[in-house]
């Protein structure tokens, strides 16, 4: 039997340009403990988690086309197999550095009929976590710059902000 920290690599073969994403098996816990699956994303060296139920797909961004008059939170649009996807760069909204290379990947998030892409540096893994591993986000300080980070998740020896997709979509649509 493998150790619960082994990483399994999942590859989507039916999508052109799809990348390989490591999937970490769930840690052992008592039966019936509530779990959720999250997609970990990396932005400017920081980890964030998004509930996997809100992820449509991950794709490599070939180019971003700026569009005049778009809300400030949006970097532009990308063509994803003939579909125009608005792209948000969360780094300025999260108070992260925007120096260095532009993010190479997009994660299409959705809630109801609304969807958009989020530019990310990488998608290190998909992980199953127990709901008791989520901690409340601080009420003051850095949370003021992160209105859509609802909680904190401990990922091994690092802390990860949990991005609340409905709040993020509303924030961007309101002009961010």
pLDDT digits (tens, 9 = 90+) for 27-78: 565 566 689 999 999 999 899 999 999 999 999 999 999 999 888 889 999 9
- Domain harbouring 143, CATH code: 2.40.50.180
Q: For tokens 């959705």, what's the residue? A: 110
Domain contains 1 = no
pLDDT digits (tens, 9 = 90+) for 123-151: 989 999 988 888 887 765 544 556 788 88
- Give a yes or no: residue 3 inside a domain: no
Which residues, at least 6 apart from 59, have a Cβ–Cβ distance to it below 8 Å?
17, 18, 80, 105, 106, 108, 117
- Do the domain assignments include residue 41? yes
CA proximity to 93, closest of 115, 118, 116 = 118
**Structure-block tokens of residue 29:** 């816990």
Q: Which has the minimum average pLDDT: 12-26, 62-76, 81-95?
A: 12-26
Evaluate whether residue 2 is within a structural domain. no
Residue 138: domain span: 8-173
Domain count, the chain: 1
Supply the pTM of this predicted model.
Answer: 0.76
For residue 134, being part of any structural domain is answered with yes
Supply 157's token pair.
């020896």
In a domain, 147, yes or no: yes
* Residue 102, domain member (yes or no): yes
- Please give the pLDDT value at position 83: 93
Q: Would you say residue 100 lies in a domain?
A: yes
């Amino acid at each position: 039997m493998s150790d619960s920290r082994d990483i399994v690599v999942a590859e989507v073969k039916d999508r052109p340009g799809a990348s390989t994403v490591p999937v970490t098996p769930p840690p052992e816990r008592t039966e019936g403990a509530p779990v959720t699956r999250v997609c970990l994303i990396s932005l400017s060296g920081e980890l964030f988690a998004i509930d996997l139920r809100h992820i449509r797909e991950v794709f490599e961004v070939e180019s971003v086309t700026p569009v005049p008059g778009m809300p400030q939170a949006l970097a532009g649009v990308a063509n994803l197999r003939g579909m125009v996807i608005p792209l948000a760069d969360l780094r300025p909204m999260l108070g992260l550095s925007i120096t260095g290379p532009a993010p190479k990947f997009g994660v299409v998030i959705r809630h109801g009929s609304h969807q958009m892409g989020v530019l990310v540096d990488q998608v290190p893994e998909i992980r199953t976590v127990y709901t008791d591993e989520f901690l409340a986000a601080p009420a003051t300080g850095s949370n003021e710059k992160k209105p859509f980070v609802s909680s904190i998740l401990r990922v091994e020896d690092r802390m990860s902000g949990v991005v609340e997709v409905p709040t993020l979509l509303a924030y961007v649509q309101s002009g961010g």
